[in-house]
Structure 1
Amino acid sequence: MSTPSHWLVPHWPGLPGNVGALSTTRRGGVSPVPYDDGMGGGGLNLGTHVGDQPHNVARNREILCALLPGRPAWLSQVHGTAVVDVARIGPQEVPEADASFSSAPGKPCVIMTADCLPVLFCDVEGKTVAAAHAGWRGLAAGVLEHTVESMRAAGAGELMAWMGPAIGAYQFEVGNEVKQAFLNGAVDASGVRHVEAAFTPVAGKPGKYLADIYALARYVLHRAGVMQVHGGEFCTVSNSGRFYSYRRDGVTGRQAALIWIK
């Protein structure tokens, strides 16, 4: 079965042929307002924790699973840095973690988002894959570095990454505490320059900045030795007809980014 045209298949040069990846949107499901598709139809909300009826979420997950080689390893995401091996997750388990990795065929890694940055990973030989949930807290705390470390400990070689839909640089207004969190992690002058460049002062709002989470993630990934980084061209907030956005709507659904070994 082919991926629906209203979902995203990552443009990911060099992705091994034995690896599959996709990113859902808000389209193609059964959920009603405010979890709908934004155009009068049912929405593909995949989150069980946002107020949608459980039977709607279950049906939406069935729609997704029909296109996958196995059950996704759903996580209870808490904006932390824990990484789990999907091979160790039981059929009914939903571990508290913000990233997962897999070296086994047919076991998809999955991350749900509604503005936070989903990052998919793969080693160049297609032996290990991973998915990470990188909101600004997790990103500053090291969730991407922990994911890279877990993959390498599992035997992964050279890594590449794809950044899925997230809040765009012209929409993500933050305070100085967010900027400082990343400056605290910049170990040298080069890092400070990269962090500074990702924050644009907001005119007339002292202490407020527009943050480029894609630029921050690229910096973190490059620092971790992941030099092949793709994606980063979508904004969840500004595209209400395609993506769920918590910052835009408050009560809303969750889309997902997934990767697996075939």
Structure 2
Amino acid sequence: MAEQVLQADVLAGVPHGFSTAAAGDMGLRGMAADDAALAPVLVARTRMAGTVLPGARLTGVWQVHGAACVEAGDWGDDARPQADALVTDRPGVLLSILTADCAPVLLADCAAGVVGAAHAGWKGAVGGVVEAVLASMERLGARRGRIAAAIGPTIGQPSYEVDAPFRERFGAGDARFFGPGTQAGHWQFDLPGFVARALAEGGVTQVEVLPYDTYAEEARFFSFRRATHRGEADYGRQMSLIGLPARA
């Protein structure tokens, strides 16, 4: 059986997981409440949550490719705030992020009992979503030097060719994240490396980048870019989860 949940060594002992395509499509965006396609998505999400932290309350945000971070609340799925990261210090709460090429980032300060999750596409990464989630964790008592962070399955540099207007959005100091493209005026962008640099500059010394390419590994991951290149109507989403066990 294909592996459904991946974990990071740096978060050992913390309930967390990165889903694969074998776990099912976790995306809810664009689905009406009575859409027949909604049922298997909810089943997949419930199964994934139960695998990571049985009995926990699953919570997420309405992702908008921005840099806002919120503290997890009791909102329903139809009332999710617009944000791209969330944090909590409440046991029994499971934070969730959906991705399909963007970088899912899971973070934990075990000593403080604080966890965070961020959706870091290139827009959010440039806009400061990593700094936002670190600052929010600090407000709950975390210390950056104690935070461990894992970057889950993300589109890899060999699969992420970009053009000159994209490259111009970045500074001269970001040149190392752009390798030669397959044609003139194009580059291969290293999104997970760029996010890892942001974590390091934010004071996180324990960073693990999982070695998976969502675009290239078709049998294992959903990919927005791959679906777009093929002209497919929609694409699946992976879900990344992290939480704190309920107190006895």
Q: In which range does the TM-score fall when normalised by the shorter chain?
A: 0.7 to 0.9
The answer for the alignment partner of 2:65 in structure 1 is 79
For the residue of structure 1 that corresponds to 2:8, the secondary structure is: coil
Task: Report the identity percentage.
Answer: 32
TM normalised by structure 2 equals 0.86
The answer for the alignment partner of 2:231 in structure 1 is none
Match of 2:74, as an amino acid?
Answer: I
The answer for the alignment partner of 2:235 in structure 1 is 252
For the residue of structure 1 that corresponds to 2:39, the secondary structure is: helix
Kept in 1: contact 2:6–2:20 (CA 8 A): no
The answer for the alignment partner of 1:59 in structure 2 is 43
The Cα shift of 1:50 comes to: 5.0
Kept in 1: contact 2:98–2:238 (CA 8 A): yes
Structure 1 runs, 4 residues or longer, greater than 4 Å off: none
TM normalised by structure 1 equals 0.82
The answer for the alignment partner of 1:90 in structure 2 is 75
The Cα shift of 1:11 comes to: 2.7
Match of 2:166, as an amino acid?
Answer: V
* C-alpha separation in 1, matches of 2:71 and 2:165: 32
Match of 1:65, as an amino acid?
Answer: A
For the residue of structure 1 that corresponds to 2:97, the secondary structure is: strand
For the residue of structure 1 that corresponds to 2:239, the secondary structure is: strand
Match of 1:137, as an amino acid?
Answer: K
Match of 2:161, as an amino acid?
Answer: E
Match of 2:177, as an amino acid?
Answer: A
Kept in 1: contact 2:92–2:244 (CA 8 A): yes
1:118 has 2:104 as partner:
yes
* C-alpha separation in 2, matches of 1:231 and 1:124: 19
The answer for the alignment partner of 1:46 in structure 2 is 26
More helix by share: 2
Which one of the candidate residues 80, 95, 99 is aligned to 2:85? Answer: 99
Unaligned stretches of 5+ residues in structure 1: 29-43, 187-191
How many pairs does the alignment contain? 231
Quickly say closer, same or farther: Cα 1:246–1:103, change in 2 above 3 A. Answer: same
Unaligned stretches of 5+ residues in structure 2: 229-233
The Cα shift of 1:240 comes to: 0.7
The Cα shift of 1:246 comes to: 0.7
* C-alpha separation in 2, matches of 1:148 and 1:178: 26
Which structure 2 residues correspond to residues 18-33 of structure 1 after superposition, within 5 A? 19-28=14-23
The Cα shift of 1:71 comes to: 2.3
* C-alpha separation in 2, matches of 1:117 and 1:97: 15
1:199 has 2:185 as partner:
no
* C-alpha separation in 2, matches of 1:232 and 1:182: 24
| Offset from partner CA, 1:139-165 (integer Å, 9 cap, x none) | 000001100000011110221210000
Match of 1:182, as an amino acid?
Answer: F
Q: Once superposed, what is the RMSD of the aligned Cα atoms?
A: 1.9
| Offset from partner CA, 1:153-187 (integer Å, 9 cap, x none) | 1110221210000100100111233333331xx7x
| Offset from partner CA, 1:67-121 (integer Å, 9 cap, x none) | 23312212110001111111x2324531111001010111011100000000001
* C-alpha separation in 2, matches of 1:247 and 1:50: 18
